[in-house]
A and B are shown apart, each in its own frame.
Chain A
Amino acid sequence: MSIPKTITLEVSRYSPERDPQPYFQSYEVPVKKEWVILDALNYIKDQIDGTLTFRWSCRMGICGSCGYTINNEPKLGCATFLTQYGRGPIRIEPLRNFPVVRDLVVEIGEFLEKLKKVKPWLIHEDGNGTGEYLQTPSQLEEFRQHSMCINCLLCYSACPISGLDPIFVGPAALALAHRYNKDSRDQGADERMAILSHPEGIWGCTFVGECTRVCPKHVDPAGAIQQYKIAGAIDGLKQFLMPWGQKGKQPKREAQKS
């Protein structure tokens, strides 16, 4: 199929000082084989309309800044080629399930609060993991997949529960909590479980599975949350069978300090 010379981008515009709600504005941009959506947006910004506002940074799928809703799908602007959409038009909107600040920019403060809540750092009884600890390749493999998250928030945009229940902790934060729980150097699983074992935590997930499908880094948040649920169920059963408790007596798993 031949590549068209130009393609129409229908971009959602919203100015908080002026607009009661967003509207679409059309731009015609040239198509080049190697151009991604972000190139087209930068072309608009530089050549057509300097008022268009959007986030971007690295252009290589590392920073997680350029997440947009592209033709109804959450995608990274830097990893989505114009040629995927034939003759267009391509509709570009902000990520769903977030308040819109301006044009394609969303407010992510609520997500950052949720992220902080799950304690996504190493917790260790001697100095919160600031020492040097040995870890085997197989121990690394236990959590490596879930550590690939770039906080692009495509998973929150795809998750209907995140939209319907704004206090749900959500896929990326829960996957990161699971990542630290699976880390052989970490001893904070019980602390995190106390925070996340409730209806707005792991039990809020109904396994729609869209978070995993849209994740550009194959983190599999849906899988991580289901595994976390099993850990939560086992934890609940232990507390029921042994109410006098095992917590605080020993680290969850042994970390070997070098």
Chain B
Amino acid sequence: MSSGQSSAPALAPVHGENEQPQVTYTEFHPRWYRPQISTYWWLGKWPYVKFILRELTSVAVAWTVAVMLMQIFALTHSGAFYDGFEALMALPVMILVNVIAFAFLVFHSVTWFNLAPKAMAVRVGGKRVHGILISGPQYLAWIAVSAIVLFILATRT
């Protein structure tokens, strides 16, 4: 059985057996090693990547709000404004950006609904209500509102 084999991958080289260690003492406690956190720490694990993507959804939310404000501005002004807005939104790059923004918004909504049962500890008869009974109605309401919007869009065009 081998013992004490040094592999030292990506870290400091192992000390040789005959090497005399350089002993330096501090006054009150030994020298602690404080690992540095890489800028790319979040790439190491999928839950961390998911967390960063969730934080980035705020950009998509801000973008969607800006587009909606632009649309309202165009609607309240002359037809030329709205034609210009429609032409802008029909550009392939804008369609691509909006599809990405939509995907981020769906992700944002799902994480929000999944958070609700964590934040709301509802108890009935002394027992905590299962999470699905808190997030479920929110999902149902979301689907219902989306269906109504889709229905209006389908019947008006």
Contacts and interface: CB of A to CB of B under 8 A. Distances in A.
Interface in B35-79: 35, 37, 41-42, 44-45, 47-48, 51, 55
A181 to B, nearest CB: 12
Interface stretch (A21-29, A111-119, A191-199, A247-255): A21-29
Contact of A101 (B30, B115, B123): B30
A175 to B, nearest CB: 12
Contacts of A48: 1, 3-4
Interface stretch (B9-17, B89-97, B142-150): B9-17
Indicate the size class of the contact surface on chain B.
35 or more
Contact of B12 (A21, A160, A213): A21
B109 to A, nearest CB: 15
Contacts of A230: 119-120
Q: Could you tell me the dominant secondary structure of chain B's interface residues?
A: loop
Interface centre among A21, A24, A100 (most CB of B within 10 A): A24
Contacts of B13: 23
A207 B14 CA distance: 39
B14 A23 contact: yes
Interface stretch (B18-26, B80-88, B98-106): B18-26
Interface residues of A, number: 47
Given A15-B21, A72-B45, A99-B32, A22 B12 contact: yes
Contacts of A213: 47
Nearest to B15: A18
A19 to B, nearest CB: 6
A256 interface: no
Contacts of A44: 3
Contacts of A21: 11-12, 33
Interface of A: 6, 10, 14-28, 44, 48-49, 72, 96, 99-102, 107, 137-138, 141-142, 160, 163-164, 206-210, 213, 220, 222-223, 226-227, 229-230
Given A16-B31, A208-B47, 19 more contacts: A17-B23, A17-B24, A17-B25, A21-B12, A23-B11, A23-B12, A24-B8, A27-B4, A28-B1, A44-B3, A48-B4, A99-B34, A100-B33, A100-B34, A142-B123, A206-B55, A227-B118, A227-B121, A230-B120
Instruction: Across the A-B interface, give the 9 residue pairs with the lowest CB-CB distance, nearest first.
Output: A99-B32, A138-B126, A226-B119, A16-B30, A18-B21, A48-B3, A223-B118, A100-B33, A26-B5
